[in-house]
A = this chain, B = another copy of it.
Amino acid sequence: MTKKKTITARRSILSANDRQAAANTRLFKKLGLTTINVMASPGAGKTSLLVRLLQALSPHGSVGVIEGDVASSIDTEFIAGLGYPVTQINTDGGCHLNAVDISAALGELKISGPGFLFIENIGNLICPAAFDLGEQARLVIASVPEGDDKPRKYPGIFMKADVVVVNKIDTLAAFDFDRAAFTAGVRAVNPAAPILEVSCRTGLGIDALADWLLALQKAR
């Protein structure tokens, strides 16, 4: 009984979300914004990657960030301190962003393209996968210290990724991370997404990821 009620509410929420996501997609196109939904575990390096990408991509056009967090505005203050446009969404315990959040945040952010809008989703490998935000691409970060089994344990989010980034690759020697096992785990659910290794600390691999994003922008 309780279960049935929950499922009905969930379907209704997802369908409302999809309608708003479609409206977001139209607005992103109109504004000339290539929008990337960035998803990962807590501490995988979402904000660090965004900062690297903002630096790499800002010479090519406008850039902006919608920053999602359960609580705090630590990341927003950091990105704003670097001089990039950023708007905060606090979900107050909610485990993912939704399309309505994004629509509201975009109204506040006031950026226009051509350029890139990055959405930093809530640190979570489960809930964000179910909610389309209207983005052009989904970027999922895994990090070396988390272990190579994450794609097999959290297949839903890797299945829907357009690009998979392996961060903290500079710490490979300190952890038991088998690259072939990681790749096999991704490929079991996602045959096509490129898997790019980066270190946000050293900058390794950031250019290749920026090139992938610029090619995505051109392909619109």
B-contacting residues of A (Cβ < 8 Å)? 2, 5-6, 8-9, 12-13, 16, 41-44, 69-72, 74, 93-95, 122-127, 130, 143, 145-147, 149-150, 152-156, 168, 171, 174-175
Q: Which one of B6, B122, B125, B152 contacts A123 once the chains associate, using CB atoms below 8 Å?
A: B125
Which residues on B sit within 8 Å (CB–CB) of A72? 149, 152-153, 155
Closest-by-CB residue of B relative to A42 is B41
Bound: A155/B93 CA distance, A: 9
26 A-B pairs within 8 Å (CB atoms) are namely A2-B9, A2-B13, A2-B16, A5-B9, A5-B12, A6-B13, A41-B41, A41-B146, A42-B146, A42-B154, A43-B147, A69-B153, A70-B155, A71-B152, A72-B149, A72-B153, A93-B130, A95-B124, A95-B126, A122-B126, A123-B154, A124-B125, A124-B126, A127-B127, A171-B171, A171-B174
Distance in Å from the Cβ of A67 to the closest Cβ of chain B? Answer: 11
